[in-house]
Structure 1
């Protein structure tokens, strides 16, 4: 059915909004108006996403530049501190914006070969065994089918317990044409 001239004119008019009354689409012109409003809102959302992405890119670059400055300044401070320590072995600096102190040398223990440790301490309460059993749901689901009477079976015909079949009602999908000419659901 071809839209009439009245439908085309109506598609460019904004219907009067009255409070406490719900607007109903009454013709194809108003339907086109509704789709145009969706398009405008989604275009605005896409534009906001682009602004957000550009802002995020700017902030990330700014942080990288700041991090380079921090690393450079830390290097300068470390060089100065090393020179001062050569002159004065107990050198410390306590200023308004920062402090320099030297930690005392110490030893730490680091795990190098866990298997060797397990062999050595096996049978004590220092070694714990963990067994986890998981179902590979994605792989199993590919092999399942629903029978007309609502049972779930494998490709071999084995009835599967521990699963349920949920019915999902039909829903309306409202789609808009993308810049590339395909269709995308309006969300």
Structure 2
């Protein structure tokens, strides 16, 4: 942020303190407002840089602390798992239930690992295309080129067929302000 922008912000803060009701009535005043917006953008950028610098430092600290606790967590979990598995071989119904937590066993479903391309080829060659799904989606880009939109926002094909599932909502003009 340069000195001119700092002065613009100081002037803006003084104006805000006076709580004046200000209305833009000509191009010079609009230019003044744009200068103030530019100065505010510069201040936001400075604040963002400060935030990013501190966030990186804090994130690094947190990652270091979490790694330490994660290493301890993995070690303790491994100790408990080894004990529970050893006890489970002796007693198939073994479990631990204490005021500080539980250790139980849970069956898991087998994991299916797919290579979609190979599987599709295999299903096609095995004449099992009933196990294939064909996904149909509208080509929205092409649709916009070949249809007409009515005043009510309805979409009509070149044949005059009204399409369900699509409508066009007109939007008002948007004011775009770009301070330099």
Q: What is the TM-score of this pair, normalised by structure 1?
A: 0.47
Q: What is the TM-score of this pair, normalised by structure 2?
A: 0.48
Q: Larger helix proportion, structure 1 or 2?
A: 2
